[in-house]
């Protein structure tokens, strides 16, 4: 008999939710996390779309350590000396299931893990799973962690983007550099009312999600972000690894320092104190780098299976990880009850993901990664063109005014009408 019915590797969004679902179904489950506590090694920008969290924890708004409800969506095109911003707010994005919140992963992940433990999951922290244990048929029957070999009828890999276990589990290849980006972030403490005033949100409970293209990554593939928390601002950037290697104009840490000095960003964080600095990989290759989700005795959920999308105006990974963790936990419990945790017995998991937004959205946006990587003008071209157009409209210097069309012609000529049409068509196809 196995030590546990299920072992979950990794206490991030996917792992803690999977362990919660298994424990709630009465299964014996061990949650193993390499960090000294849940959230110790996790990183996000961070805004969580609430819809999948609400399915697992309908009362999350009262219980979860949320920071601010996102009431302002801001998108900026940054030229080195200018910033063009769209600020959008709407009733629709505040409705239950459509709303979203800024979060800090240390408190948020500890809360999620505590839900799994309260439901009956055993958790051990500070130990990394080094390898999987298989029987003579190749079926996964447990894990090796430190000196210990711990067995289970099913193992759920929720160990995040840089999983060292998925190759052994399902033969997954290491993702190519083109499919992975690197994220870097600082959390900068400021008084709540100062943050509220600076982003013009209505109260200290409300906040902004702000994404930047252009100079944040020195005109190469990637983008900057700023999310307002209760008493801090999370500020950082995500840069494509291959783009930074081949066309990088600065190391990523320098990009962040320069981004913080940009005339549009510096006033946002002025007087703040850096209280946290973190870095992490981001899987941006989408469906093209997704490994098989199920093997004999094992299934993969969250970023260990590359479930993440970055559309430039929207970054999503946590809602995918929570939904995948929920289905992984429920379907693993079902397979355990049926006495069949072979790849065939676990197929209910892939079917559940196919029937919900997880696989459908990943498929819908499967062309985005290659489109974005070829969309150089978004990062180096359009931000400067928009700046020049705005300058023609708003700079009044006493010189006789030229007709707008005369001013616009050279600006639009820099990009070219054909290129603009090509970019618009590409965006329509990818999005
Ligand atoms: C810079 C950046 C910005 C982002 N912004 C957003 C955003 O705004 N909104 C959004 O929804 N998503 C965002 N994401 C993505 C999101 O953070 C991830 O998709 C999400 O955290 C994935 O959850 P997960 O549970 O799959 O993995 P993780 O949260 O990475 O959890 C994996 C866990 O497994 C543990 N682990 C790993 N290996 C082992 C091992 N061998 N043994 C034991 N434990 C192990 C880790 O310590 C970790 O706790 C962002 C990511 C980055 C890096």
Taking CA atoms only, the protein residue closest to ligand 1 atom 15 is 317
Looking at the structure, tell me whether residues 233 and 146 fall in a common domain: no
- The pLDDT score that the predictor gives to residue 248 is 67
pLDDT > 90? residue 412 = no
Residue at a domain's end among 283, 313, 332: 283
The answer to whether residue 30 sits within a structural domain is yes
The 10s digit of each residue's pLDDT in 224-242 is: 999 999 999 999 999 988 8
User: 24: CA distance to ligand 1 center in Å?
Assistant: 23
> In the chain, pLDDT over 90 holds for what percent of residues?
77
Q: CA-to-CA distance for 134 and 137, rounded, in angstroms?
A: 8
Q: CA-to-CA distance for 28 and 261, rounded, in angstroms?
A: 51
Residue whose entry in the numeric block shows the structure tokens 């992984």 = 328
Distance of CA 139 to the CA centre of its chain: 31
Q: Are 379 and 222 in contact (CB under 8 A)?
A: yes
Average pLDDT over the chain, rounded to an integer: 94
Mean pLDDT of 107-128: 98
- Ligand 1 atom, smallest distance to 128 CA: 42
User: 392: CA distance to ligand 1 center in Å?
Assistant: 44
Looking at the structure, tell me whether residues 291 and 259 fall in a common domain: no
Looking at the structure, tell me whether residues 349 and 413 fall in a common domain: no
The answer to whether residue 95 sits within a structural domain is no
Looking at the structure, tell me whether residues 376 and 315 fall in a common domain: no
Ligand 1 binding residues, C-beta < 6 A: 9-15, 32-35, 41-48, 128-129, 158-160, 183, 185, 236, 238, 280, 282, 302-303, 308, 315-319, 321
The 10s digit of each residue's pLDDT in 69-111 is: 999 999 999 999 999 999 999 999 999 999 999 999 999 999 9
Segments forming the whole domain that contains residue 418: 371-430
Residue at a domain's end among 364, 394, 409: 364
Number of residues in the chain: 431
Looking at the structure, tell me whether residues 144 and 61 fall in a common domain: yes
The 10s digit of each residue's pLDDT in 19-50 is: 999 999 999 999 999 999 999 999 999 899 99
Give the chain's domain count. 3
- Ligand 1 atom, smallest distance to 39 CA: 49
Q: CA-to-CA distance for 19 and 331, rounded, in angstroms?
A: 12
Residue 373: closest CA among 250, 242, 234, 261: 242
Sorting pLDDT into bands at 50, 70 and 90, what band is 370? Answer: confident
- The pLDDT score that the predictor gives to residue 57 is 98
Residue 210: closest CA among 195, 220, 221, 194: 195
User: 351: CA distance to ligand 1 center in Å?
Assistant: 24
Instruction: Please give the backbone phi and psi of residue 311, each rounded to the nearest 5 degrees, phi first.
Output: -95, 5
Mean pLDDT of 206-234: 94
The 10s digit of each residue's pLDDT in 125-178 is: 999 999 999 999 999 999 999 889 999 999 999 999 999 999 999 999 988 888
- The pLDDT score that the predictor gives to residue 243 is 76
Residue at a domain's end among 342, 364, 386: 364
Looking at the structure, tell me whether residues 211 and 340 fall in a common domain: no
The answer to whether residue 83 sits within a structural domain is no
Name the region of 10 (left: φ>0; alpha: ψ -120 to 50; beta: rest): left
Looking at the structure, tell me whether residues 346 and 293 fall in a common domain: yes
> In the chain, pLDDT over 70 holds for what percent of residues?
100
CATH number, domain at 203?
Answer: 3.30.9.90
């Amino acid at each position: 008999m196995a030590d546990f019915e299920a072992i979950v590797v990794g206490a991030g969004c996917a792992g803690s939710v999977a362990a919660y679902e298994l424990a709630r179904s009465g299964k014996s489950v061990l949650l193993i996390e390499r960090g000294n506590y849940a959230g110790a090694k996790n990183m996000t920008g961070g805004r969580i779309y609430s819809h999948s969290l609400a399915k697992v924890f309908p009362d999350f708004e009262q219980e979860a350590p949320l920071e601010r409800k996102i009431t302002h969506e801001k998108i900026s095109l940054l030229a080195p000396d200018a910033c063009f911003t769209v600020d959008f707010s709407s009733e629709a994005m505040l409705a239950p299931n459509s709303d979203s919140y800024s979060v800090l992963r240390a408190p948020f992940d500890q809360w999620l893990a505590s839900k799994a433990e309260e439901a009956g999951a055993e958790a051990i922290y500070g130990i990394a799973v080094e390898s999987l244990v298989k029987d003579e048929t190749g079926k996964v029957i447990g894990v090796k962690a430190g000196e210990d070999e711990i067995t289970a009828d099913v193992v759920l890999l929720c160990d995040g983007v840089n999983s060292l276990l998925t190759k052994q589990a399902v033969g997954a290849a290491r993702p190519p550099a083109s499919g992975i980006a690197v994220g870097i972030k600082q959390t900068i403490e400021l008084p709540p009312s100062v943050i509220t005033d600076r982003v013009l949100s209505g109260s200290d409970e409300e906040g902004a999600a702000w994404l930047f293209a252009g100079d944040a990554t020195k005109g190469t593939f990637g983008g900057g972000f700023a999310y307002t928390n209760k008493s801090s601002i999370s500020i950082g950037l995500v840069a494509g690894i291959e783009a930074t290697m081949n066309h990088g104009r600065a190391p990523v840490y320098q990009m962040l320092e320069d981004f913080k000095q940009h005339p549009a960003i510096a006033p946002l964080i002025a007087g703040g104190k850096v209280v946290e600095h973190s870095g992490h990989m981001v899987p941006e290759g989408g469906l093209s780098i997704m490994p098989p989700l199920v093997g004999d005795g094992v299934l993969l959920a969250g970023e260990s299976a590359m479930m993440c999308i970055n559309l430039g105006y929207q970054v999503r990974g946590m809602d995918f990880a929570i939904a995948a963790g929920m289905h992984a936990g429920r379907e693993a419990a079902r397979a355990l009850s049926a006495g069949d945790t072979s790849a065939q017995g676990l197929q209910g998991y892939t079917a559940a993901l196919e029937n919900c937004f997880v696989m459908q959205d990943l498929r819908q946006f499967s062309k985005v990664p290659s489109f974005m990587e070829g969309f150089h003008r978004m990062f180096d071209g359009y931000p400067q063109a928009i700046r020049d157009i705005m300058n023609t409209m708003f700079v009044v210097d006493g010189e006789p005014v030229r007709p707008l069309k005369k001013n616009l012609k050279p600006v639009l000529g820099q990009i070219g009408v054909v290129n603009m049409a090509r970019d618009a068509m590409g965006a329509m196809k990818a999005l």
